[in-house]
């Protein structure tokens, strides 16, 4: 039986490292474990992800939309983000695609507190990406860049964490009808995602995160509403600043991904081998409504038998729960479940934390099944991926920024022979 993201939060709390008074020794030990795990992967590329308490994420329409508000600390996909810190949101450079410079679209967020770290009593990870497949293909080249080469990414991950005592939320668990302690920053009235730092020069009531979103809103109907509003002001003796535009849409954009609650379950609950008939009906290929011919075309593009073996192992593993959209496990020995052998990062390909310079560790991965629920098409220019793997700061360090950027590794399906 699926449990709500609130009732299952303990499943997302990580096991503490062995007690050690020296922080550097803790980092060294963690690095040693990470290196051992990576060496194991090098010894056997076909080895499956280790069963270290993997938690699966599924999506369903929320029974109570209120549960997705920020003060209920939701895990959710699609719609708009529920910002943990509702005031100090990512800046303009952080919130745009590094390739096309357009604002990124919200994909999902996972509430993953770490009880052993006081500053991470509340902790949420956010994933955003550009909806352009062209940018995602370019992202494949960018994610390999290191050192002086600054990668321009179309997929970005942010980590936000708060102590139990903070200005925004009560220290007690939220109850139905509760409200946040403080107001949030004004958001873009087109996307409802990013901070609305630009204002319509006419009505002074519509805020935007970018010039593009202002133009889209203007052309989609705000022009008429704005002109009508200005006319009513000119005909009124009321003070200009005391009037507000009526019937203003909270989020005008109609192309956001549909909103879902992320429900979590332990993978071990699915450790039963499907029967022959069940395996045919629950495979990833059939869930994506792809024919055997389409799968064969994909298979023909694999780089040798090792990719085919990796794909078969991947599909066999997820066929136990084919509707999963996410796999979570912050155990230091955990490894992602890769669809392909080619295109995996080595330990040298995973950068250090840009804030504390400590190691990053695998935390969760996003599965391609999410695209099915988002109703993304199957044409060549539609968004697609094999998996998106998220690496986060092992120490979940603090920094002056409220939203610290983490690292995503995207593995795409092959496109050439």
Say if CB 86 and CB 184 are below 8 A apart: yes
| Backbone region of residue 28 per phi and psi (left: phi > 0; alpha: psi in -120 to 50; beta: other values) | alpha
Distance (Å, rounded) from C-alpha 387 to C-alpha 326?
9
Distance (Å, rounded) from C-alpha 131 to C-alpha 383?
6
pLDDT range class, residue 305, cuts 50, 70, 90: confident
Contacts of 200 (CB under 8 A, 6+ apart): 206, 207, 208, 214, 222, 226
Dihedral sign from CA coordinates of 211, 217, 221, 225: negative
Query: Which residue, chain included where needed, has tokens 């708060």?
Result: 162
Residue 197 pLDDT: 93
Q: How do residues 194-225 score in pLDDT, each as one tens digit?
A: 999 999 988 888 999 999 999 999 998 888 88
Residue 307 pLDDT: 83
Say if CB 189 and CB 250 are below 8 A apart: yes
Query: Which residue, chain included where needed, has tokens 């967020």?
Result: 109
Q: How do residues 128-167 score in pLDDT, each as one tens digit?
A: 999 999 999 999 889 988 766 688 999 999 999 999 999 9
The one-character DSSP state at 3 is: B
Distance (Å, rounded) from C-alpha 101 to C-alpha 313?
37
Residue 49 pLDDT: 52
Dihedral sign from CA coordinates of 282, 283, 288, 293: negative
5-38 burial string, b = 16+ CB within 10 Å, else e?
beebbebbebeeeeeeeeeeebbeebbebbeebb
Contacts of 193 (CB under 8 A, 6+ apart): 80, 81, 95, 103, 105, 106, 187, 209
Q: How do residues 112-125 score in pLDDT, each as one tens digit?
A: 999 999 999 999 99
Give the chain's mean pLDDT: 82
Say if CB 306 and CB 45 are below 8 A apart: yes
Q: How do residues 306-332 score in pLDDT, each as one tens digit?
A: 888 888 889 899 999 999 999 999 998
Query: Which residue, chain included where needed, has tokens 């995160």?
Result: 209
Distance (Å, rounded) from C-alpha 262 to C-alpha 275?
28
* Helices within 150-254 (DSSP H only): 211-217, 223-234
Say if CB 56 and CB 266 are below 8 A apart: yes
Closest CA to 126 of 91, 169, 75: 75
- What pTM does this model have? 0.84
Say if CB 57 and CB 51 are below 8 A apart: no
* SS3 label, residue 372: helix
The one-character DSSP state at 149 is: S
Q: How do residues 16-65 score in pLDDT, each as one tens digit?
A: 344 444 445 555 655 665 565 555 545 544 445 555 689 999 999 999 99
* SS3 label, residue 319: coil
The one-character DSSP state at 96 is: B
Q: Is the pLDDT of residue 71 over 90?
A: yes
Distance (Å, rounded) from C-alpha 367 to C-alpha 59?
12
Q: How do residues 268-300 score in pLDDT, each as one tens digit?
A: 998 875 554 444 333 444 444 443 444 565 666
């Amino acid at each position: 039986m699926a449990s709500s993201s609130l009732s299952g939060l303990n499943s997302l709390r990580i096991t503490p490292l062995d007690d050690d008074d020296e922080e550097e020794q803790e980092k060294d030990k963690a690095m040693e474990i990470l290196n051992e795990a990576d060496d194991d992967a090098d010894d056997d590329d076909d080895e499956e992800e280790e069963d270290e308490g993997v938690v699966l994420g599924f999506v369903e329409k929320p029974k109570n939309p209120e549960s997705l508000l920020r003060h209920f600390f939701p895990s959710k996909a699609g719609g708009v983000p529920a910002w943990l810190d509702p005031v100090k949101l990512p800046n303009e450079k952080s919130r745009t695609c590094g390739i096309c410079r357009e604002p990124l679209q919200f994909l999902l967020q996972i509430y993953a507190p770490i009880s052993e770290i006081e500053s991470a009593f509340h902790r949420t990870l956010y994933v955003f990406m550009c909806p352009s497949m062209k940018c995602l293909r370019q992202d494949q080249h960018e994610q390999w860049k290191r050192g002086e080469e600054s990668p321009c990414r179309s997929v970005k991950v942010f980590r936000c964490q708060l102590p139990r005592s903070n200005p925004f939320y009560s220290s007690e668990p939220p109850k139905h009808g509760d409200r946040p302690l403080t107001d949030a920053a004004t958001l873009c009235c087109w996307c409802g995602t990013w901070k609305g730092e630009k204002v319509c020069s006419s009505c002074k009531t519509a805020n935007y995160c970018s010039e593009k979103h202002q133009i889209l809103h203007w052309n989609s109907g705000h022009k008429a509403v704005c002109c009508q509003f200005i006319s009513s002001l000119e005909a009124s003796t009321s003070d200009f600043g005391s009037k507000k535009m009526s019937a203003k849409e909270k989020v005008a954009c109609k192309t956001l991904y549909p909103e879902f609650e992320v429900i979590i379950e332990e993978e071990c609950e699915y450790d039963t081998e499907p029967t022959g008939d069940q395996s045919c009906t629950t495979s990833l290929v059939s869930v994506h409504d792809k024919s055997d011919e389409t799968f064969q075309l994909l298979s023909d593009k694999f780089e040798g038998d090792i990719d085919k073996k990796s794909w078969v192992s991947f599909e066999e593993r997820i066929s136990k729960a084919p509707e999963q959209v996410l796999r979570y496990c912050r155990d230091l020995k955990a490894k992602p479940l890769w669809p392909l052998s080619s295109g995996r990062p080595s330990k040298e390909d995973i950068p250090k934390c840009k804030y504390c310079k400590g190691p990053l560790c695998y935390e969760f991965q996003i599965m391609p099944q999410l695209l099915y629920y988002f109703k993304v098409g199957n044409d060549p220019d539609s968004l697609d991926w094999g998996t998106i793997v998220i690496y986060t700061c092992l120490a979940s360090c603090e920094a002056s920024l409220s939203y610290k950027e983490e690292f995503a590794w995207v593995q795409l399906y092959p496109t050439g022979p």
